[in-house]
Structures are given as structure tokens and as C-alpha cells.
């Protein structure tokens, strides 16, 4: 799923006044931004030269796994107060993506091919390039460029549904394989006296999108009104002054 937007673009991410913290956050955001940019270039190169979506995931797999798994650090950033964001919401967002990559696409090759991968991969890539660019500029003196703010609070309108659609399609593609091979499941009796069925867990994940997606989507529209609305209201005031 897409990452939630903060209530308003800040000039500092949490404790950005601390030089060490600021330096670390700059390095982290720039590294992620460059990583996702590289992924976008690889995807475009593959689609242009190969003229097929087949094999795309294998081309981007290594860098994608590194960049997205590294996002787990953002949960720690929230927990220790390096950034101003809700760690629970951050953990949910990060988990949903990391789980899709490792628990579905990496685990079930059948779910790593076709249009579904292109949908969520494109949505993630564009979103993350904009998001990390936004965070990078928020750590610098002055305002975040308005175009970047506008893109961050506008493109989600299209990218979020596209990404969610691709994610669900990938999970659906994995279901038959998971059920047939009894993947990551264990039955009673066992020494832990606990049973777990991964197939039903994936079904639960699919159904969880129904209540969660609309809430997050509408929440992001609310953030868009707050941020872009406040910006538009400031412009006339500046002109009057």
C-alpha cells in the first residue's frame, strides 16, 4: 500500500537540528531516492528493449528487496523520534510491502510475473521517488519545491488504486500454489501445540484490504486538502502584503 502523507510538509523531519541525525536522515533519504530511481530506469529499459513485462521482476529483484526491506528502518525512525510520524501506521505500511515482496512474490515465482507486478512496481517506484525527494528537501533550508509538494499530494489519486490492484492480483496468483504445496503451514500435533495455515492467512490479508484501503485513501485526500489548501490560501496573502 502507499505510504501515508504527513499533515503538512515540514522544514525539518523530527530532530533535524541535530547535525548527526540530520546527516543520517539526508544519507538515508538520498540513498533510497537513488535506489528507486535506478529501479525506474531498469524497468523502463526492460520494457523498451524487451517489449514485454515478462522477466521484469528478475531484473529489479535484488535492488527492490534491498530498498524496500531497508524501509524497516523507518519504523525505528518513528519509534525513537527521528521523524514526526505515527510508528504504528508506519509499521503497517512497511509490513504490507515487505510481506508482499518476501511472503508472496519472492516465495511464489508464479506471483512474480505479468501485469500485476508492473502495476504495483510502477506505483511503488513513482511514489517512493517523490516521497524520498520530498523528505530530502524537507531537511534543507527553505521550503520544499511546490511542484514536489503537489506531486506528492496528487499522484496518489491514481497510483494508490493502481498499486493496491496489482498487490491483490499478485496475492491471488500465489493462492493456488500456496494451497497445493501447503506452504509455510503446520498442523497439529506438533511440539508447539499450534497450527497455522498460510493459505488462510493470505485470504485474511486480501479481505483486510476492504476496510483499510478506503480509510487510508480518504485520509490521504484529507491531507491533500490541508496541505494544498493551506498553500493556495497563503498565496493571496503574500500578494496583498
* Residue ranges of domains in the chain: 19-231
Q: Which is nearest to 118 in space by CA: 151, 148, 159?
A: 159
The pLDDT value recorded for residue 9 is 34
Share of the chain above pLDDT 90, in %: 74
Q: Which of 57, 135, 160, 199 is catalytic?
A: 160
Give the model's confidence band at 110: pLDDT under 50 very low, under 70 low, under 90 confident, else very high. very high
Quote the CA–CA distance of 241 and 234 in Å, as a whole number: 11
Q: How many CB atoms lie within 10 A of CB 225?
A: 10
Please tell me the pTM assigned to this model. 0.87
The pLDDT value recorded for residue 192 is 85
- At 98, list the grid cell: 515487505
The pLDDT value recorded for residue 15 is 43
Is 160 among the residues known to form the active site? yes
Average pLDDT over residues 167-176: 97
Give the model's confidence band at 187: pLDDT under 50 very low, under 70 low, under 90 confident, else very high. confident
Quote the CA–CA distance of 70 and 74 in Å, as a whole number: 8
Q: Which is nearest to 8 in space by CA: 240, 239, 233?
A: 233
The pLDDT value recorded for residue 1 is 66
List all residues 6 or more positions away from 109 whose beta carbon is below 8 Å from its beta carbon. Answer: none
Does residue 57 surpass a pLDDT of 70? Answer: yes
Concatenated DSSP letters of 48-111: HHH-SSTTHHHHHHHHHHHHHHHTTHHHHHHHHTSSSS-HHHHHHHHHHHHIIIIIIITT-GGG
Q: Which of 74, 113, 128, 167 is catalytic?
A: 167
Does residue 122 surpass a pLDDT of 50? Answer: yes
Does residue 16 surpass a pLDDT of 70? Answer: no
Amino acid at each position: 500500500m502507499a505510504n501515508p502523507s504527513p499533515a503538512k510538509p515540514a522544514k525539518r523531519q523530527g530532530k533535524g537540528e541535530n547535525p548527526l541525525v540530520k546527516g543520517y536522515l539526508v544519507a538515508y533519504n538520498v540513498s533510497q531516492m537513488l535506489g528507486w530511481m535506478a529501479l525506474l530506469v531498469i524497468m523502463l529499459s526492460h520494457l523498451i528493449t524487451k517489449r514485454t513485462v515478462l522477466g521484469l521482476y528478475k531484473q529489479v529483484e535484488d535492488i527492490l528487496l534491498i530498498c524496500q526491506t531497508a524501509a524497516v528502518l523507518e519504523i525505528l525512525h518513528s519509534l525513537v523520534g527521528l521523524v514526526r510520524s505515527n510508528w504504528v501506521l508506519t509499521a503497517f505500511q512497511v509490513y504490507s510491502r515487505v510481506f508482499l515482496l518476501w511472503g508472496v512474490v519472492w516465495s511464489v515465482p508464479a506471483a512474480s510475473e505479468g501485469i500485476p507486478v508492473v502495476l504495483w512496481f510502477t506505483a511503488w517506484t513513482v511514489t517512493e521517488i517523490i516521497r524520498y525527494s520530498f523528505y530530502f528537501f524537507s531537511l534543507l533550508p527553505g521550503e520544499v519545491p511546490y511542484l514536489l509538494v503537489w506531486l506528492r499530494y496528487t499522484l496518489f489519486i491514481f497510483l494508490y488504486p493502481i498499486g493496491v490492484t496489482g498487490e491483490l492480483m499478485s496475492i491471488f496468483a500465489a493462492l493456488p500454489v500456496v494451497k497445493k504445496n501447503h506452504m509455510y503451514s503446520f498442523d497439529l500435533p506438533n511440539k508447539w501445540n499450534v497450527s497455522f495455515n498460510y493459505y488462510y492467512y493470505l485470504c485474511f490479508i486480501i479481505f483486510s484490504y476492504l476496510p483499510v484501503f478506503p480509510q487510508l485513501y480518504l485520509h490521504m485526500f484529507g491531507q491533500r486538502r490541508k496541505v494544498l489548501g493551506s498553500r493556495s490560501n497563503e498565496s493571496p496573502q503574500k500578494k496583498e502584503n
